[in-house]
Amino acid sequence: MSAPHPQVSSTPWAIDIDHVGKVFTLDNGESLVAVDTVDLKIEKGEFVALLGPSGCGKSTILRLVAALEDPTTGRIAIENRDPLSLSRQHRLGVAFQDHALLPWLSVKNNIALPYKVAGRPVDHERIADLLGLVGLKGFENARPSQLSGGMRQRVSIARALILNPDVLLLDEPFGALDAVTRRHMNVELQRIWGEERITSLLVTHSVEEALFLADRVIVMSGRPGRVVKSIAVPFERPRRPEVQRTAEFHSLADELTLALEPEEAAAS
Amino acid sequence: MSQSAQIRRSSGGFFLTLVSRYWGVLAVLLAWQAWVSISGVNAIVMPHPIDVLLNIVQNPGSYWQNGSQTLLLAAGGLVMGMALGTLIAVVAWTSRVLSGILIPLGLIFSSVPVVALIPVLARLLGYDVRTVLAIVVIISFFPAFVFTSAGLRALPPGSEDLFQVLGASKWRRFVHLVMPSAVPNWMIALRLAAPPAVLSAMVAEFLMGSSGLGYMFRAAATDFDTAQAFGTSVVATAISVLCFTAATLAETRVNQKWK
């Protein structure tokens, strides 16, 4: 560390979301509290899933970590630095819910885009490796419009991984896919992540997805978003799809579902 | 897709396509010939289509020279006008202040009728091809400016967030995202600007030129050489259709790759 950030005190966390709140001002002048004081620490190499109903502010947290929004209160640090400096140094990988592939570029060139944006020489070997990893060998020259939804998301994930990012952010990457493809993609993502072991933050509203992929699941309540529960996932890695059929998986899933739907819990 | 498939067909098939597609044009030609033969109208008022065809075939040098000149002026002016329009759209894109100045200016400039501009420009630039070229540039400029301006803002969904998290500089964002996004709109501008480019070149030649199809038409009309005047119109129409078809083909090709 040649020049440590002067204001930021040193923390051992890879991602430190320190009492962060976000208030949006609407067009009619009213203010909307999207996130209400969320405090979350993520270790290096840890995979954390943010689980919550739609509109609970979980995507807002991800956008705050990606420096796409600024927090209204509190502070976010990634490895003791401002999140913006991470993206400026091209060390951030993000897979969005809408794949955000450029329609005029081939699969290969979409994956190579971060190299070009960073002004680095394109590493064709790395692209070929990642294409193999996400199971898209032979589709190098296809264009996004020729691919299925699942394949587009794989390209998007390969693009997020191409520069070996320090932090990987996944914003419901499989939210638009059908249930079968989604389960299949989760198995793939689990395998891919096992090979790279990047500090990851996944935003999802699927209990099974969160449990299968993450080391820790954080449950958020509806608006305004706040953390209501945090559980450590005990399953060994690499995880096989069969894990999802064990009794332990089901009891954890029930626990998380109850935390997601407190009204139902109170009624029963 | 259907257009490229048609191109690949054999020449016999091509001829059949021609007849099946343009039988309307052939019918009009036949009706025209029948009408002038039966009514016996004076050839100065309405020439026979055969005479028009003969006039073209018998004076290939004159048609070729004037036609190619008009085509070159139209094409050159189109390219320059498109380049200018694109450049100004890009300049306007970089700053809100500049776009506030450039958009109304472009609108006003393009609203002035070409016919009114020609005498002014002719006095400034001279009564020759330079003025013709300038007119075509002015006519082609506006569609390029308007469509490129819109295209520079029509970014694919999610791409702005993507470029921000990739830490793209403004320049790299422009090169890898903004410019390519404008390409489909740019192709629309090219298709829309191509036929008026030919037309405006001819109008300028007609009013002040000393060569080109427009001038040739005026000279023929003044001499009551109706067959030649009609022949000039036929060649001009052919050039215009050719430009439009080429631009449409280019647009289809680009859209296949871009969308």
CATH assignment of the domain containing A260: 3.40.50.300
Task: Please write the tens of the pLDDT for every residue from A25-36.
Answer: 888 888 888 888
Q: What total of structural domains would you count in chain A? A: 2
Q: A74-78, A240-244, B20-24, B132-136: which range is least confident on average?
A: B20-24
Q: If we measure between CA atoms, which residue out of B102, B114, B105 comes closest to residue B139?
A: B114
**pLDDT at residue B71, as a whole number:** 92
Residues A152 and A174 in one domain: no
**pLDDT at residue B148, as a whole number:** 93
Residues A146 and A191 in one domain: no
**CA of B168: which chain A residue's CA is closest?**
A117
Residue of B166, B185, B186 best to disrupt the A interface, most CBs of A under 10 A:
B166
Burial B215-235 (b: 16+ CB within 10 A, else e): bbbbbbeeeebbbbbbbbebb
CA B127 to the chain's CA centroid: 22
**pLDDT at residue A264, as a whole number:** 57
User: Is residue A7 assigned to a domain?
Assistant: no
Residues A83 and A183 in one domain: yes
CA gap A234, A211 in Å, rounded: 9
Residues A178 and A211 in one domain: yes
**pLDDT at residue A53, as a whole number:** 85
Q: Is A90 on the interface with B (CB under 8 A)?
A: yes
Which two structure tokens, joined as six digits, stand for B237? 């129409």
User: Is residue A117 assigned to a domain?
Assistant: yes
**CA of B180: which chain A residue's CA is closest?**
A104
Answer yes or no: do B165 and A103 touch at CB < 8 A.
no
Q: Are A178 and A143 in contact (CB under 8 A)?
A: no
User: Is residue A111 assigned to a domain?
Assistant: yes
The rounded mean pLDDT for chain B is 87
Residues A33 and A148 in one domain: no
Give the residue with greater pLDDT, B220 vs B208. Answer: B220
Answer yes or no: do A113 and B166 touch at CB < 8 A.
yes
Judging contacts by C-beta atoms under 8 Å, the chain A residues touching residue B161 are 66, 68, 94, 96, 100
Residues A201 and A188 in one domain: yes
Residues A87 and A204 in one domain: yes
Residues A44 and A173 in one domain: yes
**pLDDT at residue A3, as a whole number:** 45
Task: Please write the tens of the pLDDT for every residue from B96-135.
Answer: 888 888 888 878 877 888 778 888 888 888 888 888 899 9
Answer yes or no: do B162 and A94 touch at CB < 8 A.
yes
Confidence band (pLDDT; 50, 70, 90) for B6? very low
Answer yes or no: is pLDDT of B88 > 50: yes
Q: Domain limits of chain B?
A: 1-41, 45-258
CATH number of B45-258: 1.10.3720.10
User: Is residue A96 assigned to a domain?
Assistant: no
Answer yes or no: is pLDDT of A175 > 70: yes
Please tell me the distance in Å from B1's CA to the nearest CA on chain A. 15
Nearest to B161 among A90, A96, A116 (CB): A96
Q: What 3 state SS string does A182-199 have?
A: HHHHHHHHHHHHHHHCCE
Which two structure tokens, joined as six digits, stand for B248? 């449409």
Residues 187-246 of B with CB under 8 A from A: none
Residues A58 and A157 in one domain: no
Residues A182 and A65 in one domain: yes
- Domain, as residue range, for A51: 15-91+167-267
Answer yes or no: do B176 and A89 touch at CB < 8 A.
no
Query: A164, A189, A204: which is the final residue of a domain?
Result: A164
Query: A164, A180, A210: which is the final residue of a domain?
Result: A164
**pLDDT at residue B9, as a whole number:** 52
Mean pLDDT score, B152-165: 92
ipTM over 0.85: yes
Q: Is B179 on the interface with A (CB under 8 A)?
A: no
Query: A131, A164, A197: which is the final residue of a domain?
Result: A164
